[in-house]
Amino acid sequence: MPQSRLSVRKIREVLRLSATGLSARQIAMVVSTARSTVGECLRRAEAAGVAWPLPADLDDDALEARLYPPPVPAATERPPPDFGLIQAELRRKGVTLLLLWQEYRAACPDGYRYSRFCDLYRAWLGTQDAVLRQPHAPGDKLFVDYAGQTVEVVDPITGEIRVAQIFVAVLGYSNYTYCEASWTQSAADWIGAHVRALEYFGGVPAAIVPDNLKTGITRACRYQPDRNPSYQDFAEAYGVTVLPARVRKPRDKAKVETGVQIVERQILAPLRHQTFFSLATLNRVLAESLAALNQRPFQKLDGSRASWFSDERSTLRPLPTQRYEHAVWKKAKVHLDYHVEIDHRYYSVPHGLIGKTVEVRLTESAVELIHRGQRIAAHARSPVRGSFTTLEAHRPERHRHHLDRSHERLIEQADAIGPATAAVLKAQVHARKHPEYALRASLGILRLGRDYSPEQLEAACRRAIDLKALSYTAIRALIQNPAALTPAAPQTELRLSIPTHDNLRGPSYFR
């Protein structure tokens, strides 16, 4: 292991103190260095025949050269590796620097060892142009981000100006680029742009590298970032790994940073004087400009994005047979009637999950219910507000008896509050077409007793019976308006008192 070298100033001080008779340990304490370093310096001085006082003509450079001479080069020159070829080979999938070193040593047994081989390669890499600094294997990574520049779209009828966001995706190996315009950077537009980008490329890479925007990553972390559930669902559907870039580390996604810059300069900037009246028109023009960009020859590499992509296309995995449909994830609790409420619509789950919390995956056409990672139910999404969607397999045996027992328990709770509350709950069974409606309405009315007070609920139910308005909404309105709980006083007959006057005609005048 090489010893630490002292500065020339400290070398002079070590030699001076040694001439005074101090030990190496004492000298080390004075010059604030390790005792072994001091000992090495004294050994080198003795071997070089240097002693204190130093000759007047021995300057700093000469002193350092005598104590620490440069290493003698090896007698035989080792064959240098072909780092240009190594760089090209590293672009191939599965090829590593260790494998290339083994092949180098097989061809040149007297060549460099692995550590020196790596050091020389990194030193060579640092002298090359930036386009070679981050090798990417074909089909390995797709880099995605939004451009900072936006495009205005004018409503042809109202003249309103809306701003369109520009999504950019770049394949790491070929730099083959995709871009499109969308109204927002919401999760639906973000994931939809991913789906269309993969269809444009005609395959799926091994990994996608996004920025840490909230629609994709809910919590940024260097080691284990949290992905948005919808984004994770998309990744699982396509079998792709999401590798978010580190926060404030633009080099992690240098490909798309450069791709965004190219799209802004070579596609968006030439369109700055053009007016667009619809998003579809803007995307059509972007597609035409994008085709020209991918065919344009590289400035510092052979070929074009399209020619390099022709080699990369075969390394992409095939698209799934069914196109991904964007989904929104929620959580819902299973009610006593073994249904969950989603957007004021009710969907059944197996009755054994009553009281449990389940995950809900919503698409435009379907509702999937998941518990502990297992799908427990799937329904077509209902367009009717307040509707019940129930599968017979989810109903318990003796379903009517089950509902009757449920109503009995609720009526027992209502009896404890008061006779008017119990009467209102009994009326729910006869007023509703479906038992589920009656049970849910009864649960809501009893909940008012907890939100306000049992006394207020009983008074509201008495007044509701008088008014023949027994719905949950009516009873809640009565509680919130205490003045409505008191019946209006009967109106008394209005009698006019007419004063006696000579000019007034009485009834006898008309006989």
Task: Report domain extents, the chain.
Answer: 8-67, 83-132, 141-315, 328-393, 399-483
Would you state the pLDDT for residue 218? Answer: 47
Residue 248 gets the label, from left (phi > 0), alpha (psi -120 to 50) or beta, of left
Would you state the pLDDT for residue 291? Answer: 92
- Span 141-315: which CATH code? 3.30.420.10
Pairwise CA distance, residues 342 & 347, whole Å: 8
Q: Residues 289, 270: contact at Cβ < 8 Å?
A: yes
Closest CA to 89 of 50, 137, 42: 137
Would you state the pLDDT for residue 317? Answer: 92
Would you state the pLDDT for residue 165? Answer: 93
Would you state the pLDDT for residue 116? Answer: 87
By CB atoms closer than 10 A (0-12, 13-18, 19+), residue 393 is exposed
Ranges of beta strands (E only) in 172-320 are 177-182, 207-209, 217-219, 226-227, 241-242
Would you state the pLDDT for residue 431? Answer: 65
Q: What is the pTM of this model?
A: 0.49
Cα 493 → chain centroid = 73
8-67: in CATH 3.90.550: no
Would you state the pLDDT for residue 277? Answer: 92
Q: Each residue's pLDDT tens digit in the chain (511 positions)?
A: 345 677 878 888 888 888 888 888 888 888 888 888 888 888 888 888 888 888 878 887 888 888 888 765 554 567 788 888 888 788 776 778 888 888 888 888 888 888 888 888 888 877 765 444 456 788 888 888 898 889 999 988 888 999 999 999 999 888 899 999 999 988 888 888 999 999 999 999 988 888 765 554 444 443 334 456 778 888 888 888 887 766 555 555 567 688 888 888 888 888 888 999 999 999 999 999 999 999 999 887 788 999 999 988 999 999 988 888 777 888 899 987 788 988 888 898 988 888 889 988 888 788 889 888 788 888 988 888 888 888 877 877 655 545 555 677 888 888 888 898 888 888 876 665 566 667 778 888 888 888 888 888 888 898 888 888 888 888 888 888 877 767 655 555 545 555 666 666 666 665 5
Same fold, 8-67 and 141-315: no
Is cis: bond before 318, omega within 30 of 0? no
For the record, the structure tokens of 469 come out as 């308005």
Task: Report CA torsion sign: 256, 261, 266, 268.
Answer: positive
